[in-house]
Amino acid sequence: MSKKFVRNLRTMVTMSLAFAACAITFTLPAQDKQPQWKDREEYDTADAAFKDANATTRLQKLDKWKEKYPATEQIQLRQDFYVITYPELKQGRQTIAAAQDILKDRPNSFLALRGILVAVQSMLNPIEPADLDLLQRTAEYMKANEAAIYAPTNKPFNYDDKTWAALATQMKPVPLQTMTWIWGQRKGKDDARIEADTTKYLKEDGTQAAVSYLLAGALLGQNKTNPEKQVPALYHYARAAAYDGANSLPAATRQTVEKSLTNMYTQYHGSADGLKELLAMAKGSTFPPADFSIKSDSEMKIEAAAKELTTKRKDAAKQLAKNVATELAALRSEEHTAELQSH
């Protein structure tokens, strides 16, 4: 189920980014008290690139402009067209380099931030750990700076006002979708980091049941070397299954998670006793209480054996006391009879 879940989120990311990309048209922006062209030749050279719908020849024209006019007041405009053109050619490394160049001076550039999201997730092979780190920093930055990135004054040069206003809503889930994709890439390779990241995320927004599910998987993935993590894993699976408020999993998915949880819980605990109480607790709280515990089947058997032994000892003690009392009574009776006979 987790592969399907991650695949669905990847589709959502692709759709959101595609929506953002389709909004761009290539026309030369008006110059009103803006950076100026050095001369008419520079304008014509740049204009030829802007009007070229073919990404391959457009890139050649951008390179020509850059070669003839390495220093230009239109540097931001040229940077933007590079970061738009490289993704069309599936040039991931170049896209990332162009985006990072922009972000040095314009950290809220939507075109650059989007370029990194697209490049890492769909253009790199292989994907290096450093690429995932960059993608994570980008997603976290976009989440933390949403208002500044999608402010009206930060609108890219060729988005109309209506499309730009709608884009903020369209892109809102993308940082989490991106993080989910990253966690999927790291699954089984760095579960401890996934645990730390998802825990941090849930402390900021405890309603994200999908993140609870991913946290549970990361904890369970460490079970062989850290068996103590199995109990909190069961709790977070219960959270994903039981929570039905804002940002909860779809009802059908919750049922599937609960079915899996029931099997895991019964195998660990030895029975389904206490599972309903666990689900009720997890529904109301993102994290378990500090003293939360679930006894394992072996612990339950040891407790049962100890209880049985204690009961047997008590029964044996009672029987011994009863036997002693009987013997004492018999002895006293014999002594009393002998005393009577002596008289």
Query: Does 9 have pLDDT greater than 50?
Result: no
How confident is the model at residue 51, as a pLDDT?
A: 96
How confident is the model at residue 299, as a pLDDT?
A: 75
Q: Residues 129, 131, 132, 136: is their CA dihedral positive or negative?
A: positive
Q: What is the pLDDT of residues 165-219, one digit of tens each?
A: 999 899 999 999 999 999 999 999 999 999 999 999 999 999 999 999 999 999 9
Contact in structure between 270 and 264 (CB atoms under 8 Å): no
Q: Which two tokens stand for residue 70?
A: 């390495």
Per-residue confidence at 13, pLDDT binned at 50, 70, 90? very low
Tell me what the mean pLDDT of segment 118-130 comes to. Answer: 96
Measure the CA–CA gap between 207 and 204, rounded to whole angstroms: 9
Claim: this prediction has a pTM higher than 0.85: no
Place of tokens 């849930």: 202
How confident is the model at residue 34, as a pLDDT?
A: 83
The residues, ordered by sequence, that sit 6+ positions from 56 with a Cβ below 8 Å of its Cβ are: 89
Q: Which two tokens stand for residue 187?
A: 């699954």
How confident is the model at residue 293, as a pLDDT?
A: 95
Comparison of pLDDT for 330 and 304, the residue scoring more: 330
User: Is residue 190 packed enough to be buried (19+ CB in 10 Å), middle (13-18) or exposed (0-12)?
Assistant: middle
CA atoms within 13 A on the CB side of 31: 10
E strand or H helix that includes residue 339: helix 297-342
Contact in structure between 214 and 180 (CB atoms under 8 Å): yes
Query: Does 338 have pLDDT greater than 70?
Result: no
Measure the CA–CA gap between 129 and 64, rounded to whole angstroms: 34
Measure the CA–CA gap between 236 and 220, rounded to whole angstroms: 10
Measure the CA–CA gap between 265 and 260, rounded to whole angstroms: 9
DSSP, residue by residue, 73-105: TTHHHHHHHHHHHHHHTT-HHHHHHHHHHHHTT
Q: How far is CA 127 from the centre of its chain?
A: 18
Query: Does 324 have pLDDT greater than 80?
Result: no
Q: How many CB atoms lie within 10 A of CB 203?
A: 10
Tell me what the mean pLDDT of segment 305-324 comes to. Answer: 68
How confident is the model at residue 19, as a pLDDT?
A: 41
Arithmetic mean of pLDDT over the chain: 88
Q: What is the pLDDT of residues 62-102, one digit of tens each?
A: 999 999 999 999 999 999 999 999 999 999 999 999 999 99
Q: Kindly report the CA angle at 222 between 221 and 226, in degrees rounded to 5?
A: 150
Comparison of pLDDT for 290 and 305, the residue scoring more: 290
% of the chain at pLDDT higher than 90: 76
